[in-house]
Structure 1
Amino acid sequence: MNTLMVQGTTSDAGKSTLVAGLCRALQRRGVKVVPFKPQNMALNSAVTPDGGEIGRAQALQAMAAKVPLSTDLNPILLKPNSDTGAQVIVHGRALSNMEAAGYHDYKKVAMQAVLTSHQRLREQYALCVVEGAGSPAEINLRENDIANMGFACKVDCPVIIIADIDKGGVFAHLVGTLALLSEYEQSLVKGFVINRFRGDIALLQSGLDWLEQHTGKPVLGVLPYLHDLALDAEDAVTMANRIDSPEVKVAVLLLPHISNHTDFDTLRLDPKVDLRYVRHTETIGAADLVIIPGSKNVLNDLAFLRAEGWDLELQRHVRYGGKVLGICGGFQMLGNSICDPEQVESTLGAIKGLGLAEFDTELTRNKTLTQVQANCLLNAQQTPLNGYEIHCGISQGPALAQPFLQFVAHPSGWQVDGFISEDNQLAGTYLHGLFDSPEGLTCVLHWASEGRYSGGGFNLAEHREQQLERLADMCETHLDIDKILAISEQRTT
């Protein structure tokens, strides 16, 4: 198998998008291609069929390449739970919480997990397109690096560097990044890609000529700024969708450690839905449905919610007939208490819940990771939907006697999940991906809007496929794919 690595001059330079675009463009050419990211840091994750956990970007890239999800696509996943610490996930399984300094020392062990996964992929695919993390020129992170040049040097693979011209200073970014690499690392770099260009390409040409002459390395393409490109985000919360005369208004509380906010992509894209993220210092305001999302640090995020005064606003919202939905950590917050005796997520130990439903939650070290099929029990009917669970904790109490959904089958043998309140104003579930299917979207929004949502539900899977095809078309048009393939076949030394 050949290996080609995409590194970036900065975070959000376009690495994830370029890898996804290349995977689909090469797949269309008949290349058996697979994406790979040695180390990812993100709170958006996906569950693999075997019950592992990988970064959401790698799941999207796998869809682009049309290959099954596997923990080998992202062997090391870091899920931050504080400013200095993160949960370390190796081959899809949570290992432990580590502070930054401790993880720096652990990287030597992590590299072996990375190389093992890469070797397994080598045996199955013709080309591995690797995504770096952040920038390879982070001097303080160079020692024991497994995410960028540390990996590239270890497997001796060619590297393409992408830079975002929309940020400004693109030539400084590229030349400066190259200058901060060692002589051997510079030899691995085989070309550049410039991302998010707007305007007349002729006005950029003199700069491209200078860059090639100055570095001796080719510019492999200039990708245009794609307006309204909507793909699963790895980290940043995408802007909300504000429309006139919506059929339903939804407010999502933007918690500091919000996780899997891709749950709400469909709401953002649905032209019948007004979606708003309620941010720090803002009030919830008028909404049909308020969603408390998942969290990687439930206890601290609940304390934040109270400090914002959102707990009182939620009570008032329900009192005036509004609906509230808690997903995963947000579901846990709706109960009477949350205990974390083993400090799985924080050092707070325990915290009083919002008290809107009669149940209690205890966080445990065992994490539930599974893809499931279920029937949603809202609206006094059974609506089939698919989803996935990523949570630490068990919730118990009388409120759960009226469940939110019934499993078709669950690996643990569980029959039901979540709750619907007796007054039909509140609901909670551990299930992510509720809105991903038109059926699930219609079911929940019909409940939230008291029947005003006209249904038909936005089809996220079809939209995602259209966006991947659009991205591949752009890569085919604006990149020298033949030269990139030739580069991938080169040995660097």
Structure 2
Amino acid sequence: MVQGTTSDAGKTTVVAALCRLLQRQGVKVAPMKPQNMALNSAVTIDGGEIGRAQALQAQAAGVAAHTDMNPVLIKPSSDTGAQIIVHGRVRADMDARDYHQYKSIAMGAVLESYARLQQNYEAIIVEGAGSPAEVNLRERDIANMGFAEAVDCPVILVADIDRGGVFAHFIGTLACLSESEQQRIIGFVINRFRGDISLLEPGLEWLEQKTGKPVLAVLPYLHGLILDAEDAIHLHQHQQGKFKILVPAIPRISNHTDFDALRAHPDVDLQFIGPDSPIPAADLIILPGSKNTREDLQFLKAGGWEQVLERHVRYGGKLIGICGGYQMLGQLISDPHGVEGHPGDSEGLGFLDITTELSREKRLQEVHGICAFHAHGTARVRGYEIHMGLSYASSNTRPAFLLEQDSTKNEEGCVSPDNLIMGSYLHGLFDHPEACQAILQWAGLQSDQQIDLNAMREKNIDRIADACIPLLDSLQKL
């Protein structure tokens, strides 16, 4: 099991790297994260939903993503409430206190998944969540040491030296653990090191003498690494491409990995715009997915985005809404059952002639087809749907995509009559190089550049795997 001294210490990438290295050795390996709190998710081969990071790790292992790889997924809908997904399906909406009590039941689901993975794989690389030093969450823990103790699993502890204070992170984390938990840690991994390793060596010796545990590896800082983020948005990461794209960083943004291909495009400057930040002019604005569409819609209106979008479109700028963003662009969002909060209706932004009604049933599926908005209608698209509710378009809109299923073509999404606005439920619609190029051409970028996100992902998985060869060597010598 790979645990971290903090969130974003590098647990996800270390697990992915070890999965790829074992896969290279011919070992049938699977990743697992017992409990994940994230709004970036993926559809699995068994028709469920797991954290996006576990889908990445499954790819690294060379296996299909399955709900057992992330048996409990928590998708926050507010500061205190969340949708609880167990074995890929929505189980309930709970506040933090109720979920804390529910974890005793959730542990049963986690252990079921672990047992199934044991039956089907030779090795399992498990990722912890946050930090095991969160003593307020130790009771009924299923995410870190609670799981490791239950299945008798050895643990390596990862810390990010780029944050500073790496030795304090290790010593402080150990101090917060019980004696049996301390003994379970078999070594340390220092992540994101840059500089002269000889200057670090006295600290490594001190750490090993102080704790009696080895430093298994010092992993380098890998510049330009693009991999599916588990949840956090880095607002200031963008490049100076000629084509300007803005994405409002709404509070409950979901699947912002949709924009990874655009961030990697050399001709694109994509910026996430946080609250109270200046909103610059752009060629294209994209409203992202949301876990609480009506509240995030109100956030946009309160932040002046409605006026910004009206001016943007009036001067010929292109506008896209994805999933929750698609719903926001319509006339009305109705939530009669209180799926995402209090029951009621919200007036949309009014850019597309659609109405949406949220429902208790979540739609989860992978899809493929063609870009209907494209002049020749031949560009291929692949994506996945994760949403609760349906949108109904009027007859004066045309479909954005034609999805192929059982030898039929089904219309999906819509494009406004003036061809300035597009909406779709498809996540990952920029991941396929043909679709990405077609959408950018529709938005006004004339470029021959094609971004193959899957090929980039494979290349970067191999980069982190190569960097972790010393770690696997150390582990296999223990």
TM-score in terms of structure 1 length:
0.94
Contact 2:159-2:190 at 8 Å conserved across structures:
yes
| Structure 1 position 241 matched with structure 2 position 234 | no
Asked if 1:408 corresponds to 2:411, the answer is no
Letter in 2 for 1:174: F
Whole-Å Cα distance in 2 between the matches of residues 306 and 278 of structure 1?
Answer: 14
Name the CA distance, whole Å, in 1 between partners of 2:142 and 2:100: 10
Contact 1:446 1:455 in 2 (8 A): no
Partner of 1:252: 247
Q: Find the residue that maps to 2:46 and give its secondary structure.
A: coil
Partner-residue secondary structure (3-state), 1:378:
coil
Moved over 3 A (4+): none
Aligned-partner residue type, residue 242 of structure 1 = Q
- Deviations 1:273-300, CA, capped at 9 Å, x for gaps: 1212222123433211110110000000
Shift in Å at residue 397 of structure 1?
3.3
Matches within 5 A, 1:111-122: 111-122=107-118
Are 1:349 and 2:340 an aligned pair? no
Where does residue 44 of structure 2 map in the other structure? 48
What is the CA deviation profile of residues 49-95 of structure 1, one whole-angstrom value per residue up to 9, with x for unaligned ones?
22210001101111111111100100000000000011000000011
* Structure 1 residue aligned with 2:361: 366
The question of whether the paired residues in 2 share the 8 Å contact of 1:299 and 1:348 is answered with: no
1:318-397 counterparts in 2 under 5 A? 318-347=313-342, 349-382=344-377, 383-397=379-393
- CA separation in 2, counterparts of 1:431 and 1:135? 33
Is 1:78 the counterpart of 2:74? The answer is yes
What are the superposed Cα offsets for residues 202-242 of structure 1, whole Å, 9 maximum, x if unpaired? Answer: 11111111111111111101111111111111111144423
Tell me which amino acid in the other structure corresponds to 2:388.
C
Q: What amino acid is the match of 2:476? A: L
Residues 399-420 of structure 1: CA distance to partner in whole angstroms, max 9, x if unpaired? 5751111110179x88211111
Q: Distance in 2 between matches of 1:144 and 1:90?
A: 17
| CA RMSD after TM alignment | 1.5
SS, match of residue 439 in structure 1: helix
Q: Is 1:185 aligned with 2:178?
A: no
1:6-45 to structure 2, matched below 5 A, reads 6-45=2-41
Name the counterpart of 2:474.
483
Which amino acid is the alignment partner of residue 400 of structure 2? Answer: F
Partner Cα distance (2:211, 2:153) in 1: 19
Determine what percentage of the aligned residue pairs are the same residue. 58
**Alignment partner, residue 288 of structure 1:** 283
Amino acid at match of 2:72: I
Distance 2:354 2:223 in 1: 45
Deviation at 1:104, TM superposition (A): 0.3
- The gaps in structure 1 that reach 5 residues or longer are 488-493
2:435 is the counterpart of 1:440: yes
**1:241/1:269 contact within 8 Å kept:** no
Q: Could you tell me how far apart the structure 1 residues matched to 2:409 and 2:325 are?
A: 20
Three-state SS of the structure 1 residue aligned to 2:121 is: coil
In the alignment, which of 461, 464, 467 is matched to residue 471 of structure 1? Answer: 464
C-alpha separation between the residues in 1 aligned to 2:384 and 2:14? 27
Matches within 5 A, 1:168-247: 168-238=164-234, 239-244=236-241, 246=242
Give the Cα–Cα distance (whole angstroms) in 1 for the partners of residues 429 and 299 of structure 2: 25
Cα distance in structure 2, aligned partners of 1:215 and 1:131: 23
| Distance change (3 Å), C-alpha of 1:400 and 1:85 | farther
Amino acid at match of 1:484: L
SS in 1 for 2:361: strand
* Match among 104, 107, 116 for residue 108 of structure 1: 104
Q: Does 1:420 align with 2:415?
A: yes
Matched residue SS, 2:93: strand
> TM-score, normalized by length of structure 2?
0.97
* AA in 1 matched with 2:314: R
Q: Deviations over 1:116-163 (max 9, x none)?
A: 000111011111000000011111000000000000000001010111
Structure 1 residue 144 corresponds to structure 2 residue 140: yes
2:374 aligns to what SS in structure 1? helix
Q: What SS class does the counterpart of residue 204 from structure 1 fall into?
A: helix
Aligned-partner Cα distance in 1 for 2:204–2:280: 50
Aligned with residue 127 of structure 2, among 106, 126, 131: 131
Of 306, 309, 312, 1:317 maps to 312
Contact 1:249 1:275 in 2 (8 A): yes
Instruction: Give 1:491's aligned residue.
Output: none
AA aligned opposite 2:226 = A
**Other structure's SS at 2:191 match:** strand
